[in-house]
């Protein structure tokens, strides 16, 4: 019996002394494992006479229980210590001022894209997207752009090697292409207008979408970069008129430039995919020596600045998408996002916009929680 008492005292002390879970496991194996000393004692019970068993049995079982529960208690205590340590190490101070933990900033182009999505969401427009590697039919053919159009020339458009075609979505009716021999080529999309086609092919009108995104042309000077951003707008419904177009653009531009006195001028123009077509100018004036969008363009220092192209969707485009132009009409517009950003936030050179210079971004970028406003003034670009 004293053996059993000694063993119990020994293990209770050993368990209490364990400083970690590994040490505890060693003690457990030593006592209760297959070769353990407590296990060995339990095994001797079978050979005992009934009288002996009556005396020794409860003591041996008591030993096993005492050791088992001491192990469990110590394990819980050690796990608790580990959890406390982990929590202390991963502590986040939610009371720190926000600026102290902000390291990045929002690029002005991303900022403007967000603003545009928000303005048009209020007008009931959804955001649509399309691939940047586009096929000839979506980029040109379906938009009624003739084979001879200068936009199709090599010096304006990036054409892709035939191997790259697999990257397209295979949705290119090659017979509808540019009319060249062989399959129609793939291009880096030269504008966001192909998203008009994709939307009309995939959804049933009435439709109201904007499509912001990257576009590509082989240009490089102070006002042109090979990659830039456009936003496309498309409305298809019954009974749509030029009046709807003008109201929508006026509402959009007033919201974007944050001034109710922005006035528009629609100048007759030509785009193959709209008829009639109009280029849209906004009036500017000089305020405190700075050019600002808004005010009376006929006043001193005032004038007009072109901001976008637009028009009524050409019936041929509507028909190319499988819709009946006698039933469905619509308007479309396309606009350079980078130029909008430059105008609104006073950026006067386009090239650094895409150079990724952190100093430039610190100057023109926005903190994630900023609510930007017409702070930089309007550039003279």
Name which of 122, 138, 111, 321 is nearest 215 in CA terms: 138
Give the whole-angstrom CA distance, residue 75 versus residue 24: 7
- When the beta carbons of 191 and 339 are compared against ligand DAH, the nearer one is 191
- Could you tell me the smallest distance in angstroms from the CB atom of residue 317 to ligand DAH? 10
Near ligand DAH by CB under 6 A: residue from 334, 346, 365, 376 = 334
- Name the residue with the smallest CB distance to ligand DAH: 334
* Cis bond upstream, residue 206 (ω within 30): yes
Radius of gyration for the alpha carbons in the chain, expressed in angstroms and rounded: 37
Residue 226: alpha-carbon gap to chain centroid: 22
Nearest to ligand DAH of 284, 333 (CB atom): 333
Residue 180 DSSP label: -
Residue range at the interface with ligand DAH (CB under 6 A); choices 5-13, 63-71, 203-211, 306-314: 306-314
Please state, in angstroms and rounded to a whole number, the distance separating the CA atoms of residues 47 and 138: 91
From residue 243 to residue 272, what is the string marking binding to ligand DAH with x (rule CB under 6 A)?
----------------------------x-
Report whether 75 contacts 339 (CB < 8 A): no
Partnered with residue 187 across adjacent β-strands are: 134, 159
The residue from 311, 346, 365, 372 that contacts ligand DAH (CB under 6 A) is: 311
Chosen residue from 111, 139, 172, 193 binding ligand DAH by CB under 6 A: 193
Nearest-angstrom CA–CA distance, 239 and 230: 27
Indicate whether 185 belongs to the interface with ligand DAH (CB under 6 A).
Answer: no
Rounded to a whole number of angstroms, the minimum distance from the CB of residue 331 to ligand DAH is: 7
Per CB under 6 A, the segment of 18-26, 287-295, 304-312, 370-378 that binds ligand DAH is 304-312
Q: Is 333 in the site for ligand DAH (CB under 6 A)?
A: yes
Helices (H), the chain: 2-17, 21-32, 37-44, 50-89, 108-122, 136-139, 194-202, 242-257, 315-320, 337-345, 358-364
- The secondary structure of residue 238, as a DSSP letter, is T
- Shortest reach from residue 274's CB to ligand DAH, in Å: 4
Shortest reach from residue 169's CB to ligand DAH, in Å: 20
> Please, which residue, 230 or 285, has the CB nearer to ligand DAH?
230
Distance CA 234, CA 262 (A): 22
Strand-strand pairing, 329-336 and 227-237: antiparallel
Among 115, 134, 232, 281, binds ligand DAH (CB under 6 A): 232
Nearer of residues 159 and 360 to ligand DAH, judged by Cβ: 159
Tokens 């109710």: give the residue.
260
What minimum distance in Å lies between the beta carbon of 378 and ligand DAH? 22
Assess 135 for contact with ligand DAH (CB under 6 A).
no
Q: How far is the CB of 214 from ligand DAH (least distance, A)?
A: 13
Least distance between ligand DAH and beta carbon 191 (Å):
3
**Smallest separation, CB 339 to ligand DAH (Å):** 12
Core vs surface per residue 113-125: b (16+ CB within 10 A) or e: bebbeebbeeeeb
Check residue 309 for interaction with ligand DAH (CB under 6 A): yes
What residue ranges bind ligand DAH (CB under 6 A)?
191, 193, 232, 271, 274, 309-311, 332-334
């Amino acid at each position: 019996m004293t053996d059993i008492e000694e063993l119990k005292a020994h293990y209770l002390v050993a368990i209490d002394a364990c400083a970690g879970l590994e040490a505890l496991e060693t003690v457990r194996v030593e006592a209760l494992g297959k070769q353990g000393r407590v296990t060995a004692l339990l095994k001797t019970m079978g050979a005992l006479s009934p009288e002996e068993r009556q005396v020794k049995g409860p003591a041996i079982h008591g030993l096993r229980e005492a050791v088992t529960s001491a192990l469990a208690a110590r394990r819980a205590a050690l796990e608790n210590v580990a959890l406390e340590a982990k929590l202390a190490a991963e502590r986040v101070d939610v009371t720190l001022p926000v600026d102290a933990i902000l390291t990045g900033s929002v690029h002005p182009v991303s900022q403007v894209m967000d603003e545009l999505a928000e303005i048009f969401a209020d007008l009931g427009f959804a955001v649509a997207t399309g691939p940047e590697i586009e096929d000839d039919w979506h980029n040109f053919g379906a938009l009624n752009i003739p084979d001879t159009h200068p936009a199709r020339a090599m010096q304006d458009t990036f054409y892709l090697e035939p191997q790259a075609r697999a990257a397209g979505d295979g949705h290119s009716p090659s017979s509808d292409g540019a009319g060249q021999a062989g399959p129609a080529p793939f291009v880096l999309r030269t504008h966001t207008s192909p998203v008009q086609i994709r939307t009309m092919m995939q959804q049933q009108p009435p439709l109201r979408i904007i499509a912001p995104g990257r576009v590509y042309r082989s240009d490089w000077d102070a006002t042109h970069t090979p990659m830039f951003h456009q936003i496309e707008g498309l409305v298809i419904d019954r009974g749509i008129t030029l009046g709807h177009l003008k109201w929508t653009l006026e509402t959009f531009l007033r919201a974007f430039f944050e001034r109710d006195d922005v006035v528009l001028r629609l100048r007759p123009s030509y785009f193959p995919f709209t008829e009639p077509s109009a280029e849209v100018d906004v009036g500017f004036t000089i305020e405190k020596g700075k050019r600002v969008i808004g005010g009376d363009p006929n006043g001193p220092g005032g004038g007009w600045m072109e901001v976008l192209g637009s028009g009524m969707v050409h019936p041929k485009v509507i028909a190319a998408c499988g819709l009946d132009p006698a039933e469905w009409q619509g308007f479309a517009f396309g606009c350079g996002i980078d130029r909008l950003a430059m105008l609104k936030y006073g950026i006067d050179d386009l090239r650094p916009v895409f150079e990724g210079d952190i100093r430039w971004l610190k100057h023109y970028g926005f903190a994630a929680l900023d609510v930007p406003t017409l702070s930089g003034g309007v550039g003279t670009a």
